[in-house]
Every structure is written in C-alpha cells, then in structure tokens.
Structure 1
Amino acid sequence: MLNMGQQKNYIAYLRQSTMKQEISGLGVEAQREIIQNYLKERKPVAEYIETESGRKSDRPKLTEALEVCRKTGSILIVAKLDRLSRNVAFTSKLLESDVEIVFCDFPEANKLVLHIISSIAEYEAGLISQRTKQSLRAKKARGCRLGKSENLLSRLPQAVENSNRTNRQKALDNPNNKRAVALLK
C-alpha cells in the first residue's frame, strides 16, 4: 500500500521494429526523450528495449517489464500507443491486465479512445506491410537478391574465396602476364 503523497515508480518500455532502427538508435532515442519530457524531473526506475514487430505478441522484454510492474506496483510507461502494439486484440488484453499503463501521447485517454487508436495502428501496420511487399516484389523483378544482411555475411568467406580464385585464374590466363613471366625466366 502506498503512503499518502508517495509517487509510484515508472518502468519504461521502448520498442523498435527493425535492426536498422536498433543500429541507428533514433527510434529508441526519440521514445526515451518523449518519456523523459512526460516525466519531467522523474526518471524511470528501469527501461526495457525490444526489437520486434508491433504486430507480434511474443515479446520477452515486454513480458519481463509487465512482471516487474506487477511485483513492484510500478506503472508501465510507453512513449506512444503504437510502440506498445499494432494489434488490437493484444492491446486490448494489455489494457485489461492488472498493470497500469500510461501512453505519453494520450495520457488521459480512456479505454474506448485507446481501442480506437489501436485499431488505427493495426490498420496502419497492414498498409506498411502491403507497401513493403510491393517494394520487395519490384526489387526482385529488377534482379536484386533479397534477404537479411546476416545471411549474406555468413556466405562472405566463400564469396571472397571464389573471387580470389577467379582473379588468380584471370591473371594466369592473361597474355600480357604470360609474356612478363617468360621475360623473367
């Protein structure tokens, strides 16, 4: 039980969708700034950062943050509703949970408004998915190889070896190189 005048602690949850956002840090930094502006002089007691799609509900860091909120009676603070989720059912489940959640972009919003905004976020996620798929189809049609850079990096040593072998063979087959070798003998 809280004493009169005692303030609850906040636990920050920050989500980014892609590794690219993780590397740049811009998504997380912007969210951190929004949260800090909302809290003014206070600081969150903990911060959980996750790189995961807003459409997915399997979020280990969010689960951990919610568990800590339950144990400590803290409030989960999120910069924007769409950073928590872009899935109406998942958002609804979270809003019905036993953890108080504050969204910096809609701090006074009631559940009805949050459900409407969540529906818009889910719709937007669908549009983003469609645009991404169209873009990837167009790239593939132009002959670009698609895939994650991690997958390309795993094949890098073999590609370097193949390139070196090809360059070595071209050097051996080059008539000018053959004449130069003959002169040196």
Structure 2
Amino acid sequence: MHRRKLLNLLRAYQTTDPEEQMMLAKTIHFVENQPRCFERTLEIGHVTGSAWIVSPDRKRAVLLHHTKLDRWLQPGGHADGDPDVLRVAFREAEEETGLASLKVISSAIFDLDVHPIPARGNEPEHLHYDIRFLLEADPFEPFVQTPEAKEVRWFTFDEIAKLTSEKSVLRMMDKEKANNY
C-alpha cells in the first residue's frame, strides 16, 4: 500500500500539544480512508509536505512570504502523487528557496498541521494535511527568487514571534527553541 510509509510515520509521531494531537488523529483517519490522499485533484483535501529550515546554530529559520496566501510561512507544497512526504518537503524547500546546502536533520515528522486553503479560481476550499520535516541549510547561501514567494529570508526566533501570529509557525519555532535551550 502506497500510504503505509506515511501511516507508519504518523503512528510513530508523538506530540504533547492537544490541538496537534487532534490534527494527528484527523490526518491518520484521512490517509487511511483516502487512497488518493497524495493527489492534488482530490478536492476535499490532500497531503502536502513542508520544511522547517534552520541554521546550524539552530537560532534562525527560513520563512517565505507566500504569493498566493500573502503570509509568511515555511516552504512546502503539494505531493502531486508522491507518497514520500519527506522527499516532497525537500523538493519544495529546494524549489522555493533555491538553497543547495539543504540537508535532512531527521526523517521523523517534526510537526504536522491541518488547515483550510481558501477557494481560488476553479479550486474549491479544501484542507491541506501538511507533514513537516526538520532541515538545515547554510545561512550565508543566497536565496533564488521564485514566483511562489514575494520574499525568502532567514529570521531569528524573536523576529518570527513579532512577524507572524500563525499558530503552526510559532509552534514549530517553540519546538526548535525547546530542543536547543
């Protein structure tokens, strides 16, 4: 079964955050019951992969100002049929930042989130079941500008806390801070 690897990762994932626990249960249920969960054409929602990219000293993270959503978010995107969500997260991080120094810190899930994506054009409102992984990159490597982002930047955690109220971004930042202080 092409969903088995993701289901194994999801079942191994542990979180103490009650909201994230509910989203984990919702994601497992979705993946178990939707054979086409990796397909963008599944209109009710689909699995996506994202990357929380940190500097080697773990004091900064990469965010991009998403063109379509007009918010600062971590790099990530659609699986487009690929059931290897770590590969999806890595590919999207490369495409959206242009960073060649990216490396995977862990193949375990770092964070997950279920969030609505507003209707746009012919696409109805739908859910993204976003699986996030921890990556590292050289903070001195220049970014490559892409159409998907208005801007890509490194931010300190203090800057992120002032920049956004996105709960899932702040949760990832807090996880990283807790692991390194």
**Common fold, TM-score beyond 0.5?**
no
Q: Which fold has the larger relative contact order, with Cα–Cα distance below 8 Å and residues 6 or more apart in sequence?
A: 2
Q: TM-score, normalising length from structure 2?
A: 0.24
Which is greater in Rg? 1
Q: TM-score, normalising length from structure 1?
A: 0.24
